[in-house]
Chain A
């Protein structure tokens, strides 16, 4: 990056007019060339004043710069984290790809600050959604361990719970976020246990109101269908058996209650529970099922552990999770053999999430040309990356406000399947909402980063339209808007 600091050549001062920086489209697209020369080469290309005006066919692919290690590091940071600030990128680039992978995987998740201040009257009790969302977004921006944060978001979209059903009268959703972060890089077995006894989950998928006598199937079904095995790998009888076997859990009781005046004028009061510390669900044996069951081909007595063991013994589980991870971090159209390989690694490591993710990031597929820009940033990833790029963490409230317009509301996934991915994020509505977010951010900035810093965020690989549009203006603010709103910046 230091080499690029001579950027003044491409950030023209108001006067006297100087030749506009030119972006060489051919070079921008010729990734091999660019990669080979490194990002500094782009600067040279810019200053060289070359602009190729030959028309280009549609359907051309992005030229992958991933043979260059710096580009590979940036590719990793865009996917394993929320994109990098220039400082983070510089550090990672000097560490190199392998050491960066090691660091991301091995750093234990940094905990967020306490949601409540010490004297907050709501402490240990009810939540406010916007405040909870802002708290998380601020941590996404500030955390020194962004990979753990990215995985927390991934698990939030995998082991889903939503505010509509869980509600805000308890701290359950807040606890769940803390738990998902703590477990984000552990192993699937302990994760499934934590998920099953999580109070927000107990409420969201109704396990807390199920009993062995009249079981509620909701958790049992989604545990297998969405969380572990995928549809088609179990029968309806398995759903019913698991529902019986898992029954017995109830929500934790508050440590005490307090009376809150909601409307003094109308005399509206409500009693809220207060918890001194986060708790898990409680198991009540008399609500459990006592008989024998047949589940996933085995007959016997099943408790919660036995159900989870049976799921982990089933070959579909590792394949399902590995497939989801591959689609989330590599490409929507990976080979089945690749997924099988990841699944084998995952299972033979004792379902260790770090082993799985290391296998993903260090695979040839991850750095392949086909994987370059094969993923679309989710709205949250896009917005966090924007704010990191322009170093504006104070604009975090904009992320909370704009989420709904882009179809991603933290703590409110659309359904138990979580958020859609990739191409599903590209609708007329969402493209518009992303442009508007970029425009709002750019309008709020007091200072605008130089163009070369921005181009590093997209490896300097630009499509012809973006290249010529950037080339057509000298206005730094306009250039920033164009880059953040460009198709290039939506991809990872």
Chain B
């Protein structure tokens, strides 16, 4: 059974038997995000009954650290903005790229503005959740699990994978590019996941002989991590083969360049990660849900230069990505969505930066969207008790739109509830 191709088919109950279900214990006491049983960061092949079959692909871009919404989609007419953040507003408002009379994009989002002009960008304003957490880790966990009550441990995309895409245990159905670990949004014990830190190093040093010899070790491994090791190795072997095939077929049709001053070693290679995503998409590897991360948004100090740099970096990587997809005729099948754990405090601090905030806008980019503004921009005068923006759209409304109308999965099953409809998908799947 699958031994020939290095696959162990395991189900959740096998993990239960193996004792791989971690109790609260110290984790519960230690609290915080690290307390999530990290056993759930794993993936196993699992059968599923209700598969989704269409050619739609999702790419989530995490803007890690808490992106300043008020310097991404900028209010152009509100004098209060200048009272709250004299330094930051002065340098943002005048140079913004107007979307209408009220709001404009950050001056460095020039390529995304072009996509907006083509009707390929939807912006959902004021996205957040009730009783916001100002902890990076807690809020990231809430966004990753799609559960503000903090009970869920699996990621919302991991659950989607496990329920809808995993019938064949395809190693690339869920893939995180440019990271060495499984991102929380993709976590699910039953989801098959590939993680590729860098295309250059994703292969066996020593070739197929080493692969075969070492691969043979990772079967029926004992212990609480045994199944995780076996699955990781099997997935790695399958993905190495798939990636080699893809690499041979792929010719990039855009210039991807990583911004050296923002990149330290493996961190933050957004352009390289999106290029890998494009390669996996245009060569037909069967990739469905992708996740990439751009870090550095925790702008407590000297935000002006830093956030502008990050916006320019995001813009050039996303522009190259769509140029590449367009040239390969794939842009109508790919939805890019940004997310960040929170926005930032409307009032600037002494360091020329902003502290942790709450509601912020999300960008949804690609052929599948009906371009325009959605949701309501939060008021700058009606702040909450922590002096933060009140959310107007629950983030699960955005997830719901992605899951149902776009992917054709059952959002209620994955999110455990029904949320306000936003309608930013141009051609919704019939049942939703």
Contacts and interface: CB of A to CB of B under 8 A. Distances in A.
Contacts of A209: 301, 350-352
A64 to B, nearest CB: 10
A435 B214 contact: yes
A420 B179 contact: no
Contact of B31 (A61, A215, A232): A232
Interface string A420-458: 111111111111110110011001000000000000000
B240 A443 contact: no
Contacts of B233: 428, 431
Contacts of A62: 222-223
Interface stretch (A146-154, A265-273, A332-340): A332-340
B214 A424 contact: no
A42 interface: no
B97 interface: no
B228 interface: yes
A185 interface: no
Nearest to A406: B180
A275 to B, nearest CB: 22
B31 A231 contact: yes
Interface stretch (A6-14, A82-90, A95-103, A320-328): A320-328
A407 B181 contact: yes
Contacts of B193: 427-428
A221 B136 CA distance: 10
Interface in B20-34: 22-34
Nearest to A60: B222
Contact of B229 (A236, A338, A487): A487
Interface string A400-420: 000111110100101111001
B316 to A, nearest CB: 19
Contacts of B39: 332, 422-423
Interface stretch (B202-210, B244-252, B279-287): B202-210
Interface string B74-89: 0000000000000000
Given A333-B27, A423-B38, A478-B213, A405 B197 contact: yes
B265 A416 contact: no
Given A59-B18, A226-B32, A376-B225, A427 B182 contact: yes
Contacts of A332: 22, 26-27, 37-39
B224 interface: yes
B168 to A, nearest CB: 17
B216 A465 contact: yes
Contacts of B40: 423
Contact of A216 (B42, B196, B232, B350): B350
A421 B355 contact: no
A145 to B, nearest CB: 27
Nearest to B19: A61
Nearest to B239: A428
Contacts of A482: 213-214, 217
- Please indicate which of the listed interface residues B29, B31, B204, B218 has the most CB atoms of chain A within 10 Å of its own CB: B29
A404 B202 contact: no
Nearest to A29: B222
| Majority DSSP secondary structure for residues of A touching B | helix
A322 B27 CA distance: 11
A161 interface: no
A313 to B, nearest CB: 18
A406 to B, nearest CB: 6
A219 B28 CA distance: 24
Contact of A465 (B221, B224, B225): B221
B351 A465 contact: no
Interface residues on B, range: 35 or more
Nearest to A342: B26
Contact of B218 (A211, A218, A424, A487): A487
B227 A58 contact: yes
A158 B137 CA distance: 14
B181 A425 contact: yes
B381 interface: no
Contacts of B65: 415
Given A61-B224, A464-B220, A482-B214, A429 B197 contact: yes
A466 interface: yes
A463 interface: yes
B149 interface: no
Contact of B136 (A320, A415, A424, A431): A415
Interface in A220-275: 221, 225-226, 230-233, 236, 239
A230 B351 contact: no
Contacts of B375: none
B198 A491 contact: no
A469 interface: yes
A465 B201 contact: no
Given A336-B28, A482-B214, A439 B197 contact: no
Contact of B222 (A61, A231, A319, A440): A61
Interface residues on A, range: 35 or more
Contacts of B202: 429, 432
A210 B355 CA distance: 11
A459 interface: no
Contacts of B72: none
B50 interface: no
B22 A333 contact: yes
Contact of A427 (B232, B295, B296, B301): B232
B8 interface: yes
B23 to A, nearest CB: 5
Contacts of A294: none
B283 to A, nearest CB: 19
A416 B136 contact: yes
Contact of B33 (A129, A417, A478): A417
A374 interface: yes
A190 to B, nearest CB: 23
A122 interface: no
Nearest to A233: B31
Interface in A5-44: 29
B365 interface: no
A378 B351 CA distance: 35
Contacts of A60: 222
Contact of A429 (B180, B221, B223): B180
Contact of B26 (A326, A404, A439): A326
Nearest to B138: A231
Contacts of B197: 404-405, 407, 429, 433
Interface string A325-364: 0110000111110111000000000000000000000000
Given A214-B350, A216-B350, A414-B267, A426 B232 contact: yes
A209 B39 CA distance: 39
A358 to B, nearest CB: 18
B272 interface: no
A297 to B, nearest CB: 19
Nearest to A55: B220
Given A217-B300, A429-B181, 7 more contacts: A60-B222, A221-B135, A409-B266, A422-B225, A464-B220, A487-B218, A490-B229
Interface of B: 8, 10, 14, 17-19, 22-34, 37-42, 64-65, 133-138, 171, 179-182, 193-198, 201-206, 210, 213-214, 216-230, 232-233, 235-236, 239-240, 264-267, 295-296, 298, 300-301, 349-353, 355-356, 386
11 contacts: A59-B222, A216-B353, A332-B26, A407-B266, A415-B64, A417-B137, A426-B41, A426-B232, A427-B193, A432-B203, A466-B217
